[in-house]
Amino acid sequence: MTAQTSLPSEAPLTRRKRAVVVGASSGIGAALVRRLAAEDFVVAALSRSPEPLQALANELNTGGQTRAIPYAQDVTKLEEIPAMLQRLVTELGGVDVFIYCAGVMPKVDINEFDLEKDQHMLSVNLAGAVAWLGQVGALFQKQHSGHLVGISSVAGDRGRVLNPAYNASKAGLDTYLEALRNRLSRHGVHVLTVRPGFVDTQILANAPRSFGVISPQQCADGVWKAIKSGKQVVYVPWWWRWLMLAVRNVPSFIFRRLSF
């Protein structure tokens, strides 16, 4: 399941920081792998698509140093996750930062109810996240350290008429991350919820409208800054915090009439 896992014998992994990014083949995930590699992490990059992961590893593994290692894993195959995590711990020598970035948002029309689309979003965006974050949370609790990060969305702040299952998957992820934060903070573990606005990724193609679009690299830079500063919840860009505060306070009888 791995296109490349061997590490050069001279690489002092025990002296380097180690990260895992799930959903790393493109967009924000790939940008996070690049950002962490630039910070001298060795990064396990996971996705169900091995080809773009290998291309990313080839891009980063220059000068005789391993910075990214590709692993193929489908987050909907929940039964594989415990063994995969153990494999990562063994091959990396431990984990310091874990980021769950896998996410899907198919196009859903305003009058469409599609069980297959809804189930897929819930499986990838929420069930896969809970499975991975829970397993890594248990590991970090035992080692009394670690940064646990979930890439959510401003879409989770309120239920919109468009794509209810996507909104629900991100709202569920927000609540799960908050619960993990409350549980793990007493064990020295940092849990970060990231709520991006519009980012120039494949998901943006299915958004009915967009504004203030940022690049995946800008989003990754914001995530890294939040990890370093120990923030609990961060909106990327920052001004989404105030916009969503206004949205959350729109009365329900008005909000339900809106078309976004």
Catalytic site positions? 166
Backbone angles phi, psi at 25, to 5 degrees: -75, -20
Query: What is the three-class DSSP state of 21?
Result: strand
For residue 72, how many other CB atoms are within 10 A of its CB?
Answer: 17
In order of 32, 103, 200, 234, the CA distances from 205 in angstroms are 21, 14, 9, 24
Give CA 113 to chain center in angstroms: 26
DSSP, residue by residue, 41-62:
EEEEEEES-HHHHHHHHHHH--
For residues 97 and 80, give the distance between their C-alpha atoms in angstroms, rounded to a whole number.
20
